[in-house]
Amino acid sequence: MGNHSDGSPNHSGTVATAGQNEVEKFQDPGIPPHRLRLADTDPKAAKRAERQVAILFGSSVVGTVIFLVAYFAIDLGPDSTIATIRLQNALLGIGTAFAMLGIGTGIVHWAKALMPDHEVSEERHAIRTEEDRQAAVRIVDDIVEETGIKRRPLIRNTLLGAVALAPLPALAVFGDLGPRPDDKLAHTMWAPQEGKLKRLTRDPDGTPIKASDVTIGSAFHVIPEGLNELHEGKLNEKAKAVVLLMRLNPESLKPSAGREDWSYNGIVAYSKICTHVGCPVALYEQQTHHLLCPCHQSTFDLTQECKVIFGPASRPLPQLPIAVDAEGYLVATSDFKEPVGPSYWERDEHERNINS
């Protein structure tokens, strides 16, 4: 950019300095002369344009007819198939498109080809004139004077106070939008009920799973026993309780202290709800032992107790402690030892409460 300010106005392509704005400018030559269209000079062309416009309007009528025929003649009765719906949808669409485009293109063609196309210039007016401003100021002054609000500060202050407080009921009235969270997020259905451990059952049919069913490399999508029998809040419970059950070679699991008895013969169960923002982390790669969330690509390593190895999640997936009951079915020995799903402000507090 070295020569940008060399100030030589004759050197084409370079730049002049401050004085440039005062240097003479080109005169505005005004609106270019109007050029006549074919239809302006040739009556045949005008006639042709007129016919084209009429044809376009006519095609709109055809479109309307297509729509009505498609609506009434195509039956969506019991024998209809997807192809019937596809046909009707296409015909309704074509009909509408013709009906609308016919009118639209017809009008525009009419405007372009036959209506006068002289460009005109109109003056702009000041958005606010000084005269108006002064008049407005006088009016406002009069109004303020007549209310006497300046002379009576008591009125002003009490009014301001009242107006400031008045919206509070309007906010308070939304207090019943939802219940208090309390520690609802900290517990799931997996907690043993009356001493009975919950079985792991298949999603969606709810049949229990035997440890011997889970072969190496397989992945079971699991819901707690009794979930399907819930009448209320089934999805709420499911949203916290879904679990992914997998079996690895027991050697590749290296349980940390306190988790040694959370798995059974290489079978492990982890919460399926992503610790990022809660999508189901359901993509299990059986050779790499990675779990991938399809929403934001957080990747968890099963062999490292679902530690985050990629993506936006920050916390490992919670593990569900499991064992086998007398009949050989897999059961959860307790609830999760931490709240599942996305983090929230009170989460750490809840986790401490669970473990104390």
Partner 1 sequence: MSATSTANAPAFVAKTKGGRITDFVDQRVGGSGILREFGRKVFPDHWSFMFGEVALYSFVILLLSGTFLTFFFDPSMAETHYDGSYTPLKNVEMSVAYSSSLDISFDVRGGLFMRQVHHWAALLFVASVSVHMLRVFFTGAFRKPRELNWVVGGVLLILSMAAGFTGYSLPDDLLSGNGLRIIDGVIKSIPVIGTYISFFLFGGEFPGTVIISRLYMLHILLVPALILLMIVIHLFMVVVHKHTQYPGPGRNDGNVVGYPLGPVYAAKAGGFFFIVFGVIALMAAFFTINPIWNYGPYDPSPVSAGTQPDWYIGWVDGALRLMPGVIGDFHFEYVIFGQVLTLNVLLPALVPAGLVFTILFMYPWIERWITKDDREHHVLDRPRNAPTRTAIGMAGFTFYCVMWAAASSDLIATHFHVALNDVTYWLRALFFIGPVIAFIVTKRVALALQRKDREIALHGRETGRIVRLPHGEFIEVHAPLDDYKRYKLVGFESPVPLPAVPNEHGVVTRKEKRRAALSRWFFEDRVAPASPAELEAAHGHHGQHEAVESAEGQKTLSH
Partner 2 sequence: MKALSQKRRHPLAAIALLLMGLLLTGGLYAVATTVNEAKASTTSFSANDTEEGGKLFAANCATCHGMGASGTKDGPSLVGVGAAAVDFQVGTGRMPMQMNGPQAYKKPAQFNDEQTHQLSAYVASLGPGPSIPEEGLLDAQGNAAEGGELFRVNCAMCHNAAAAGGALTRGKFAPALADVSEKHIYEAMVTGPQNMPVFNDANVSPEGKRDIITFLKQIEANGSPGGADLGALGPVSEGLFVWIAGLGVIIAFTIWLTSRTS
Which of 45, 46, 101, 354 binds partner 1 (CB under 8 A)? It is 101
Helix, strand or coil, per DSSP, at residue 75: coil
From the centroid of its chain, how far is CA 275?
19
6 backbone φψ class: left, alpha, beta (φ>0; ψ -120 to 50) = alpha
When asked if residue 25 is in the footprint of partner 1 (CB under 8 A), the reply is: yes
Residue 310 host element (H or E): strand 307-310
Which of 36, 127, 162, 163 binds partner 1 (CB under 8 A)? It is 127
> In this structure, what token pair is assigned to residue 124?
């702009």
State which residue, 23 or 162, has the beta carbon closest to partner 1: 23
Rounded distance between C-alpha atoms, residue 158 and residue 173, angstroms:
24
When asked if residue 83 is in the footprint of partner 1 (CB under 8 A), the reply is: no
When asked if residue 356 is in the footprint of partner 1 (CB under 8 A), the reply is: no
Rounded distance between C-alpha atoms, residue 88 and residue 66, angstroms:
10
When asked if residue 130 is in the footprint of partner 1 (CB under 8 A), the reply is: no
When asked if residue 24 is in the footprint of partner 1 (CB under 8 A), the reply is: yes
Residues 132-171 that bind partner 1 (CB under 8 A): none
Which of 215, 251, 260, 326 binds partner 2 (CB under 8 A)? It is 215
* 265 Cβ neighbours under 8 A, 6+ residues apart: 211, 247, 250
Q: What backbone phi and psi angles, to 5 degrees, belong to 28?
A: -70, 115
Rounded distance between C-alpha atoms, residue 108 and residue 45, angstroms:
17
Which of 21, 27, 287, 356 binds partner 2 (CB under 8 A)? It is 287
Q: Taking the complex as a whole, how short is the minimal distance between the CB of residue 186 and partner 1, in angstroms?
A: 11
Could you tell which of partner 1, partner 2, none binds residue 323, using a CB distance below 5 to 8 A set by kind? none
State which residue, 86 or 138, has the beta carbon closest to partner 1: 86
* 23 Cβ neighbours under 8 A, 6+ residues apart: 9, 16
Choose one: 71-79, 133-141, 206-214, 246-254; the region binding partner 1 (CB under 8 A). 71-79
- DSSP class of residue 210 equals B
Return residues touching partner 2 (CB under 8 A): 35, 37-39, 81-83, 85-86, 89-90, 93, 108, 112-113, 117, 202-204, 209-210, 212-221, 246, 280, 282-288, 290, 292, 294, 297, 299, 310
